[in-house]
Structure 1
């Protein structure tokens, strides 16, 4: 029994020894008695905290621990346990952080924490016009306390707060200690200290004094004590009369505006100016939000305490401001406040407001009445509940404006003053221009009944000092000074033909043919010496014997020079035509491609250049040429497409009344045809019979070529291509004597959509032939090497419905009965 007691005593002594050392392991003198297996998590936490406070790792203190008696095996155990402890706490911190983000715990980068109170904002459409409501609808404006700030002065501690207590210097200690529900903090080796209800400053002094009694170095000044808030408690406040009234859990640092924002601000009839903060059943503070909105004064935004009540009573007076103010809406007024105060709430008149008076609609016991407030009454008029103030715009007119326009150097609006005359206005506008017409000027004047009248002025007399002509002006007069250029006709001349830029040009006095030719860029190389000038005939007398409408003049010029020896003087509206030379054609080419000796482009040597001539100039046909495969590709010209677009196809008459396309359908068909010619066809194909041309040069196949034509000579091909609605598109070797059906059968015949009786063949030279039929006999076209057989698709036929068959049957039955009746 004595041995057991002895062993237990040794274990307790060892643990006590290590507990003491765990608090200051770096400064302990003897670690030989430390047994790591008996360390608790609190002991490991203290060692880990001590290492972190000294910015050291467990490996850094290994030499020191071994020198103080700790065995290597024990130290290895300590290293493993500390690593496991740190890893476990690291994972826990991450988990706590994630949980905090979900549950609403806010972690400050300074270590201070506070539970977040969330409240989803609902946009208040009913109170949106009330001045101040926007303060509580904005979710980004929440008046939350800043946890990064230093510990606030006179902060009163209570249960739920957490203090960070640090001792640093010769002796060290660091811990986060919560204030218990009894209002005490429990400090290791110091004991419990009551701090509830004390300010942070008073609690700091009390805790320091208690620590100094235990830590001698604190008492001697060798160690210092630091105390700060690490976590702030949550308090309960009650809000009555808000949009969302109820009990709210807020930070102990929260203020009145923060709580009001959580509750959504005052309710539908709530006051913004007489909000009461009730503490200990007494009104502690009367809050006027307008002081903050208008002046930025936050003196009403006091801190809250636990069990505070915020009461929002109903408003006493509200008025409405509409029109030309900077901030219109509904405003709450206190007793004794004047209209000038209301203007201050609305941020004053805007730049378009009529400020001389304001119209107000008031409510009496039975009906409405209208009252006008003059500017002199703004500081004395007391708004009544329900007043609607309307601030109107200033009139769109000027009290001292006058205008001058026309042939003056500075036409514009000018200020008018009494007694101002027309000569004064012309002087202000920097005088008359050189082209001013001084015999007459016009004044358009606004009369008293707002109608206008014209007053004519002899401008030359007015400027010479004649007071009768120098008319006195009036407000809103518009003075017009004419220009002599306004009375001149706009003269033009026209030049056309062989010049660089033909067109209509402005006529100037003494304009000559040389001047005009140079102005239009000169003559072209194809200009002839013949020039025709048409000039209009002017006469006051009608001469029926002379049928001439114009006067024609023909002159000769030097076609290779823009400067003529005889410089012909032009007159207004002359039309000049410079003719083209009789013979002036640039060399134009055609193209030969395919199986010829020298393919390429060839110039048309004469106007009657034929196919035979060009092919022979190309060296004739090569040995691999297909004599039946020659053709001409002729480009479709733009003018041909335009002619097609202008043709009325008259399809609506041809298709009958049941299938009329109308003008819209006709236009659509024309546009489709022209689009196909432009984008797909592009060429017209002319077949050539070379064998006939060789025998007879006058054969119709020996056509005359046009610029841009291309002669294609196909290479001999022994295959026959079969395409379209057949089972297999393929090319079948040509077999002499085999007919049309042989090649269709060779590709498996037609498919279910193929229209065999309308099959056709395209020969190498571009000719085509279709299948023909007579009675029960069908004649197929002959097949030659290099040709292509095409089987088209059957058109979709509309099957008759059951109702149509019934209708036809009833008609036939009626006819049969009619015939039988007729022969009885």
Structure 2
């Protein structure tokens, strides 16, 4: 016996030293006693982690560990073990994977149980069916919870057994098919059928007999459930009946969820859990649904059977309850129990009685269940309870509105009078019309009538005037403001804010002038006030439609010494000064001595006047290149738009013309014959200028520009005596689209001229320096097709035949 003890101590010491060396392979000084076979997977993972931390491969570490006395055979074994371990088993390989490893170590392992859910469309209205359609409520056991002390071990479970302290040991050991755990150096220990608590004590005692430090308390033993077994249960009567492999920690509700819940006619309240061919427990799901009581949610054992029988009674609740649907009833339960299943009446339910549709052996019948019978009436299978709404009417309502401080709806009581309701509304407002108030009263046949009240007498205590109210009366107190006409007054003309203003009693002209922002600088002393004529009779001899008042005011002062009293609907017009016009300017540019803007000093300033004020033309000026650019006014565009050319709805000529005036042209050009003006300043070409006009004096240019549909757009030097054809020929002539007979010339002063024909002789306008010749494009002409030509020829031939016949 002594030799056996010595041998065991030797092996323990050897195992312990191997473990210690494995914990720090690279820092250890003596590896001669290291035995790789004695190292657990966890020890190998720690060695791999050490190598990765030091950025070493096992090949690079070989000379180091052999130098520390490690046998070559043991190193070969270590290399094989390191190659077998997976990288994700290494403790602390990376910061990112460390948390996952710790989570995996802390979580028990269990085979994944998957079951395809089928949406319950048949039992959608049955109370409780939604419990088994919700994928987030599967009652799956939490594998991270502490192991239940009453958990019974069996084949397929796996225990994590560790010894820590002076001596160390760590291993995951499964429960074999024989119900035993096989611990290295300790032996086989039967644990099947034992609770985890009892098995822990038994294993600890067995280890203490081998590890002396456990018995002395220098080392501790830890035992936990690392992997749980699966058990098989049978479900009968569910939507998906069959045999299920589930966790040994699973409960009845978890199994019911996997089976899809009760079938079409399955009971929710009398589910049987059969164990060893006996009814172990009756499960009522309503206890959980209504009260949250999970007393029936017991744990399952291998070969348990869950039997779901057909229901005995089902009733329907419709209408004003919080949870309408189809409910299963047990024998002896009353309508009050059914109401609790439906979560009670909602806020609009009529609770005095409930209508129930019953089924007899032959036909239907209707019954009213009174409130006093709720606790005694026992529903029968097939009953349909209808909870109706309360009536949309009030039993004690009166209303007051109008000129009271708190118009609102108030509660009514018998004997209530008008003065009582006014007192509830905190009295009459200052604008109340006290001679009369109105009551709209609902009669017994639901028609309405009006009752008039003298408020003065009613509030003075006259009981006859202080009318007794009835429920649903609506009292209206009028306001004197309701009878006041809304008067307006109008001011226009030279005022800063013309418009229509409210009229107030004693309103004067001074008040209105200040309210309208005061007079403008152009206001004259003349003011015209028009006042409507009021008369009870028609005076045919008087043709006037309004009475006019012409008064004079101090134009530079809003406060008039003689104030004028205004009346409702007066119209005040402030006239403008006869002469009040701000200086207006024109612009002159080009070849003049002093170009710029000039004020029109006279209403009849002409081109010659402004040119003289600008210092006259310079020596470079082209006397034939003077023209005026006049802005196109808005009223001119309006005039074009107002003209109906009668071109049809789809014709766009007028639209194009308007668009061109608005967007393209913007200016109209007026040619000026400067030679005629110099000879005779009264010449018609010496036009009167308008504000905004721009006089342009072109510099002398000896070139003639040729553009349009010509072969080469160019500017040709002016040749005295050369005509139109010379310049067109100088640019290569016209192209194939050019329309020569419609060519025209634009002179420097903006005047245009076109070619014309007389007796087959075409004459072209004279060309001057600085002018521009433009050749337009020919319009597109549709060519006659062969068919059209043949048709016309046929018509002409027929016409010729008719003429010949007539001539004969």
Residue 434 of structure 2 corresponds to residue 452 of structure 1 = no
Task: For residue 171 of structure 1, report the CA deviation from its aligned partner.
Answer: 0.4
Which structure 2 residue ranges, 5 or more long, are not aligned? 1-9
Per-residue CA deviation, residues 116-139 of structure 1 (Å, 9 max, x unaligned), is: 333454544444333333333333
Per-residue CA deviation, residues 75-109 of structure 1 (Å, 9 max, x unaligned), is: 99989997996686343559xx9xxx9xxx99746
User: What is the aligned counterpart of 1:345 among 341, 347, 352?
Assistant: 341
User: What is the aligned counterpart of 1:684 among 664, 667, 671?
Assistant: 667
C-alpha distance in structure 2 between counterparts of 1:306 and 1:771, whole Å: 117
C-alpha distance in structure 2 between counterparts of 1:357 and 1:274, whole Å: 31
| 3-state SS of 1:25 partner | helix
C-alpha distance in structure 2 between counterparts of 1:25 and 1:147, whole Å: 35
Partner of 1:658: none
C-alpha distance in structure 1 between counterparts of 2:70 and 2:305, whole Å: 60
Q: Is the 8 A contact 2:12 2:211 kept in 1?
A: no
Q: Structure 2 vs 1, CA of residues 305 and 575 (structure 1 numbering), >3 Å: closer, same or farther?
A: same
Residue 251 of structure 2 corresponds to residue 238 of structure 1 = no
Partner of 1:404: 400
| 3-state SS of 2:205 partner | helix
Residue 581 of structure 2 corresponds to residue 585 of structure 1 = yes
Task: For residue 533 of structure 1, report the CA deviation from its aligned partner.
Answer: 0.9
Q: Structure 2 vs 1, CA of residues 181 and 716 (structure 1 numbering), >3 Å: closer, same or farther?
A: farther
Task: For residue 20 of structure 1, report the CA deviation from its aligned partner.
Answer: 7.7
User: What is the aligned counterpart of 2:355 among 351, 354, 359?
Assistant: 359
Residue 509 of structure 2 corresponds to residue 513 of structure 1 = yes
User: What is the aligned counterpart of 1:162 among 149, 158, 161?
Assistant: 158
Per-residue CA deviation, residues 647-674 of structure 1 (Å, 9 max, x unaligned), is: 555443xxxxxxxx3xxx68x9988876
Residue 206 of structure 2 corresponds to residue 224 of structure 1 = no
C-alpha distance in structure 2 between counterparts of 1:591 and 1:80, whole Å: 108
Partner of 1:266: 262
Which segment drifts farther, 763-772 or 283-292? Answer: 763-772
Partner of 2:419: 423
C-alpha distance in structure 1 between counterparts of 2:241 and 2:593, whole Å: 103
C-alpha distance in structure 2 between counterparts of 1:806 and 1:213, whole Å: 128
User: What is the aligned counterpart of 1:145 among 133, 141, 144?
Assistant: 141
C-alpha distance in structure 1 between counterparts of 2:120 and 2:475, whole Å: 57
User: What is the aligned counterpart of 1:202 among 198, 201, 212?
Assistant: 198
Partner of 1:302: 298
Residue 554 of structure 2 corresponds to residue 558 of structure 1 = yes
Q: Is the 8 A contact 2:404 2:422 kept in 1?
A: yes
Q: Is the 8 A contact 1:17 1:34 kept in 2?
A: no
Q: Structure 2 vs 1, CA of residues 485 and 185 (structure 1 numbering), >3 Å: closer, same or farther?
A: same
C-alpha distance in structure 1 between counterparts of 2:342 and 2:251, whole Å: 27
C-alpha distance in structure 1 between counterparts of 2:243 and 2:593, whole Å: 105
Q: Is the 8 A contact 2:606 2:687 kept in 1?
A: yes
Q: Structure 2 vs 1, CA of residues 598 and 229 (structure 1 numbering), >3 Å: closer, same or farther?
A: farther
Partner of 1:9: none
Task: For residue 443 of structure 1, report the CA deviation from its aligned partner.
Answer: 1.4
Q: Structure 2 vs 1, CA of residues 821 and 699 (structure 1 numbering), >3 Å: closer, same or farther?
A: closer
Task: For residue 511 of structure 1, report the CA deviation from its aligned partner.
Answer: 1.4
C-alpha distance in structure 2 between counterparts of 1:574 and 1:385, whole Å: 85
User: What is the aligned counterpart of 1:541 among 512, 537, 542?
Assistant: 537
Q: Is the 8 A contact 2:506 2:566 kept in 1?
A: yes
| 3-state SS of 1:115 partner | coil
Residue 375 of structure 2 corresponds to residue 392 of structure 1 = no
C-alpha distance in structure 2 between counterparts of 1:609 and 1:506, whole Å: 48
Q: Is the 8 A contact 2:706 2:716 kept in 1?
A: no
Task: For residue 809 of structure 1, report the CA deviation from its aligned partner.
Answer: 9.2
C-alpha distance in structure 1 between counterparts of 2:221 and 2:52, whole Å: 22
Partner of 1:285: 281
Per-residue CA deviation, residues 264-315 of structure 1 (Å, 9 max, x unaligned), is: 3333443333333333333333322222222222222222333333333333
User: What is the aligned counterpart of 2:310 among 314, 320, 340?
Assistant: 314
User: What is the aligned counterpart of 2:569 among 549, 566, 573?
Assistant: 573
Task: For residue 342 of structure 1, report the CA deviation from its aligned partner.
Answer: 2.5
C-alpha distance in structure 2 between counterparts of 1:714 and 1:23, whole Å: 111
C-alpha distance in structure 2 between counterparts of 1:358 and 1:790, whole Å: 99
Per-residue CA deviation, residues 656-710 of structure 1 (Å, 9 max, x unaligned), is: xxxxx3xxx68x99888767765x3371332434645754655666544444445
C-alpha distance in structure 1 between counterparts of 2:222 and 2:349, whole Å: 62
Q: Structure 2 vs 1, CA of residues 540 and 58 (structure 1 numbering), >3 Å: closer, same or farther?
A: closer
User: What is the aligned counterpart of 1:469 among 439, 445, 465?
Assistant: 465
| 3-state SS of 1:420 partner | coil
Which segment drifts farther, 365-374 or 15-24? Answer: 15-24
Q: Give the TM-score normalised by structure 2.
A: 0.81
Q: Is the 8 A contact 1:22 1:47 kept in 2?
A: no
Q: Is the 8 A contact 1:162 1:176 kept in 2?
A: yes
C-alpha distance in structure 2 between counterparts of 1:776 and 1:17, whole Å: 138
CA RMSD of aligned residues (A): 4.8
Q: Structure 2 vs 1, CA of residues 605 and 180 (structure 1 numbering), >3 Å: closer, same or farther?
A: farther
Partner of 1:655: none
C-alpha distance in structure 2 between counterparts of 1:82 and 1:451, whole Å: 104
Q: Is the 8 A contact 1:722 1:743 kept in 2?
A: no
Q: Is the 8 A contact 1:759 1:792 kept in 2?
A: no
| 3-state SS of 1:113 partner | coil
Partner of 2:714: 732
Task: For residue 756 of structure 1, report the CA deviation from its aligned partner.
Answer: 8.9
Which structure 1 residue ranges, 5 or more long, are not aligned? 1-13, 653-660
| 3-state SS of 2:440 partner | strand
Task: For residue 464 of structure 1, report the CA deviation from its aligned partner.
Answer: 2.4
User: What is the aligned counterpart of 2:132 among 131, 136, 161?
Assistant: 136
User: What is the aligned counterpart of 1:522 among 511, 518, 521?
Assistant: 518
| 3-state SS of 1:688 partner | strand
Which segment drifts farther, 629-638 or 199-208? Answer: 629-638
C-alpha distance in structure 2 between counterparts of 1:77 and 1:183, whole Å: 37
Task: For residue 23 of structure 1, report the CA deviation from its aligned partner.
Answer: 4.2
Q: Structure 2 vs 1, CA of residues 52 and 172 (structure 1 numbering), >3 Å: closer, same or farther?
A: farther
Residue 21 of structure 2 corresponds to residue 25 of structure 1 = yes
Partner of 1:8: none
Task: For residue 59 of structure 1, report the CA deviation from its aligned partner.
Answer: 11
User: What is the aligned counterpart of 2:247 among 251, 264, 278?
Assistant: 251
| 3-state SS of 1:467 partner | coil
User: What is the aligned counterpart of 1:371 among 354, 367, 370?
Assistant: 367
Q: Give the TM-score normalised by structure 1.
A: 0.80
Q: Is the 8 A contact 1:51 1:57 kept in 2?
A: no
Partner of 2:323: 327
Task: For residue 571 of structure 1, report the CA deviation from its aligned partner.
Answer: 1.4
User: What is the aligned counterpart of 2:181 among 182, 185, 188?
Assistant: 185
Q: Is the 8 A contact 1:24 1:50 kept in 2?
A: no
Partner of 1:482: 478
C-alpha distance in structure 2 between counterparts of 1:575 and 1:710, whole Å: 43
Which segment drifts farther, 622-631 or 273-282? Answer: 622-631
Task: For residue 220 of structure 1, report the CA deviation from its aligned partner.
Answer: 2.0
| 3-state SS of 1:341 partner | helix
Q: Structure 2 vs 1, CA of residues 16 and 271 (structure 1 numbering), >3 Å: closer, same or farther?
A: closer
Task: For residue 554 of structure 1, report the CA deviation from its aligned partner.
Answer: 0.4
Task: For residue 577 of structure 1, report the CA deviation from its aligned partner.
Answer: 0.8
Matched length: 775
C-alpha distance in structure 2 between counterparts of 1:756 and 1:133, whole Å: 95
Q: Is the 8 A contact 2:354 2:370 kept in 1?
A: yes
C-alpha distance in structure 1 between counterparts of 2:29 and 2:201, whole Å: 34
Task: For residue 47 of structure 1, report the CA deviation from its aligned partner.
Answer: 3.7
| 3-state SS of 1:681 partner | helix
Q: Structure 2 vs 1, CA of residues 444 and 177 (structure 1 numbering), >3 Å: closer, same or farther?
A: same
Per-residue CA deviation, residues 691-734 of structure 1 (Å, 9 max, x unaligned), is: 4575465566654444444556667785858579x99xx85343
